[in-house]
Chains A and B, each alone.
Chain A
Amino acid sequence: MIAALSSEWLKLRTTRTLFWLLVALSALMTLIVVAGVIGSQKHSISSAKDQLDLLGIGSLGIFIALIMGLIVSTGEFRHGTITPTLLATPSRTSIVIAKALAGMFFAVALVGLAEGLVALELAIALPAKGVDFAIQGAPAAGFIGRMLIAAALWGALGSGIGIVLRNQIGAVVASFAWLFIAEGLIIAILHSHAINSNAGRFFPFQATGAILSSGTRNPADLLSHAGGMAALGGWMALFTIAAVVLLSRRDVS
């Protein structure tokens, strides 16, 4: 397992994918932070809570974490490297777990760097606009910690989804279609038919919202932080188990 994990770690470090994802994420963050600070009235970004919301821009990195996880797995099928990977590590369970862990680590690293960049940019941009940097250590640390947990879960979830679906473009399209279209649609249907109006809280995007949410919340709409982590962790476990079962049963030809 350690050998497989070490190999996955090296795989990601020896292509330019990670570098370009980081560049894309940094550029996106910078653009949003600068636009957010410049385009806002001073009074709307002066409180600690307002600035914590700005820090939340980094949560966009979670989508990059998902892509990261998808690439970790689907890249093997796209380039045919699954064959040498399986020859070197015949235990398919070990491969799935190593990929899930690699997806987690890299997602955390990527989102951590992005969040650090956002904090740095806010520390420069806010005083430049004449607003004091008011973010305090404890709430910010709590928020960033929860964001990193969400990133880790999405990285591993993406890895599982990638092994289940195998096709890289298909997996990216299907994942984002679920997040931006299907999940909301299903929740709306559940609400309109009063089937189980609370079930939507357990869906991945909603669970992520629960993990990242701050302040008061309506328990009917969002789970608690721990509940969100458990729900998202459940999805991750489900797809990881499905990945183990499918990869073990499938022929690699």
Chain B
Amino acid sequence: MIAVENLRKRYGKTQAVDGLSFTVEPGRVVGFLGPNGAGKTTTLRILLGLVHANSGDATILGKNYSQLERPFCQVGAVLEASGFHPGRKARNHLRVLARAGHAPEKRVDEVLSQVGLEGAAKKRVGGYSLGMRQRLALASALLGDPGVLILDEPANGLDPEGIRWLRDFLRSLAAEGRAVLISSHVLSEVEQTVDEVVIINKGKLVAHGSVEELKRGKDGRVRVASPQAKALEEKLAKAGFVVSKDGDALLVAGATSAQVGEIAAKSSLVLHELSPLATQLEDVFLDLTSEEKK
């Protein structure tokens, strides 16, 4: 449905996107992650025909965005919380886009209601909060009732309630069979929202898979606390584990709780805490992107 193949884009001396390839299938919510400057926004803008690639292909439903028939009704996009005339009322902003994009005007009130802005529809956008602008941007994306959604940091500016709303909203859109590609730096939120993630760094693909697959691929860690921490650290290091300090406790990478407990028992070391740490998407992300930096 969304296919990026060997995509490259250079700005002066900076290679923003460097041979990037990935696909997004219908009915899937895919997180598009990467540190600042990784090339996420550039990739999304190339997909939407706003930025010209130097080489490679970026297609939606098998075509470049500009070649799609009535693309606004096939692909919805949220790219930034700006993009509104501050003196125009929200409802009129949507009417303008509906006209240009061949979307039926009755959709305007429907999407305003969908994003919870019906009460503020006749307010000028200049008086909107950042969260309201994000909701309006989402409403714009949904105007054409598209099968594909491309969202760049849609959670920006949303309060916790708004983020929860967005999460449920995106899940409901995917359940309707739409493909959703969502870039975000709020990893904890993405983790709860997406089916799979595409992680990029310096314009290159670093990882692509389901959240569970990526977590499984990362070695576990165990947090252990002992009044004889120094001795325990030496024993663990001798056993070949990578040990780091976490306050008064130790973090043991690549070990299970059983392995750490057995080593401590063999040396008659007292333990005050022994707990496996759940791997978060954030850990995977930081590991993958920091490895790239090295």
In the complex, which residues 32-51 of chain B have their Cβ closer than 8 Å to any Cβ of chain A? Answer: 41-42, 45, 48-51
User: Contact at A87–B82, with CB atoms within 8 Å?
Assistant: no
* A7 CB–B CB distance under 8 Å: yes
Known: A16-B87, A253-B41. A79 touches B82 (CB 8 A): yes
User: Contact at A80–B41, with CB atoms within 8 Å?
Assistant: no
User: Contact at B89–A79, with CB atoms within 8 Å?
Assistant: no
**CB within 8 A of A90: which of B66, B84, B95?**
B66
Interface string of A135-157 (1 = CB under 8 A from B): 00000000000000000000000
User: Contact at B50–A253, with CB atoms within 8 Å?
Assistant: yes
> In chain B, what residue has the closest Cβ to A87?
B77
A90 and B67 CA atoms in complex are apart in Å by: 9
Collect the chain A residues with CB atoms within 8 Å of residue B48's CB: 87
Number of B residues whose C-beta is below 8 Å from A? 32
A80 and B50 CA atoms in complex are apart in Å by: 13
* A17 CB–B CB distance under 8 Å: yes
* A214 CB–B CB distance under 8 Å: no
User: Contact at B80–A4, with CB atoms within 8 Å?
Assistant: no
**CB within 8 A of A253: which of B42, B83, B92, B96?**
B42
User: Contact at A88–B100, with CB atoms within 8 Å?
Assistant: yes
* B52 CB–A CB distance under 8 Å: yes
* A14 CB–B CB distance under 8 Å: yes
Known: A16-B87, A90-B65. A6 touches B99 (CB 8 A): yes
> In chain A, what residue has the closest Cβ to B75?
A87
User: Contact at A89–B100, with CB atoms within 8 Å?
Assistant: yes
**CB within 8 A of A252: which of B51, B101, B102?**
B51
User: Contact at B72–A81, with CB atoms within 8 Å?
Assistant: no
User: Contact at B86–A253, with CB atoms within 8 Å?
Assistant: no
Residue positions of A touching B, CB distance < 8 A: 3-4, 6-7, 10-11, 14-17, 75, 79-81, 83-91, 249, 251-253
Residue positions of B touching A, CB distance < 8 A: 41-42, 45, 48-52, 65-66, 71-72, 77, 79-80, 82-89, 92, 95-97, 99-102, 140
Other than A79-B84, A88-B100, give 7 A-B pairs with Cβ distance below 8 A: A3-B99, A83-B83, A84-B97, A90-B65, A90-B66, A90-B71, A251-B51
